[in-house]
Amino acid sequence: MKTLVIHHPEDKAVEENKKSFAKCIKTGIGEGFAISREKAASLVIGDNVVILCSTRGYEQRAEGEFVKLVHSGQTKSGLKRYYVYIDNIRTVPYHRNDFGKLNHNGIALF
């Protein structure tokens, strides 16, 4: 079973009008993540999803189960962006173990 890690920093939600950690937890949708074709193709229903927020003073972590990806556009370089649909989300104790694995698009898959 794989784990997809997505990063929803609160400071970007305000500064760049992006979706926040709280909104992701409430709706079950991680919005606008650039994911390579190979990584997207390897995800299956039920894989683990970790949702992180590292904004100072808002540090939070939640986990859930992968449901699906829905194409939502692309980056300037042509990488596809996706909405990540997540079920059974629950908050868990915060720790930073997965941050070292995040790529510059705010995701990791291992």
* DSSP secondary structure letter of residue 34: E
Check whether 25 has a pLDDT greater than 80. yes
pTM across the whole model: 0.89
Q: What is the pLDDT of residues 33-78, one digit of tens each?
A: 999 999 999 999 999 999 998 878 888 999 999 999 999 999 999 9
Give residue 96's pLDDT. 74
Mean pLDDT of 85-89: 98
Give residue 88's pLDDT. 98
> Within its chain, how far is the Cα of 49 from the centroid?
7
Q: Where are the domains of the chain?
A: 3-109
Percent of the chain with pLDDT over 90: 61
d(CA 68, CA 87): 10
d(CA 85, CA 108): 16
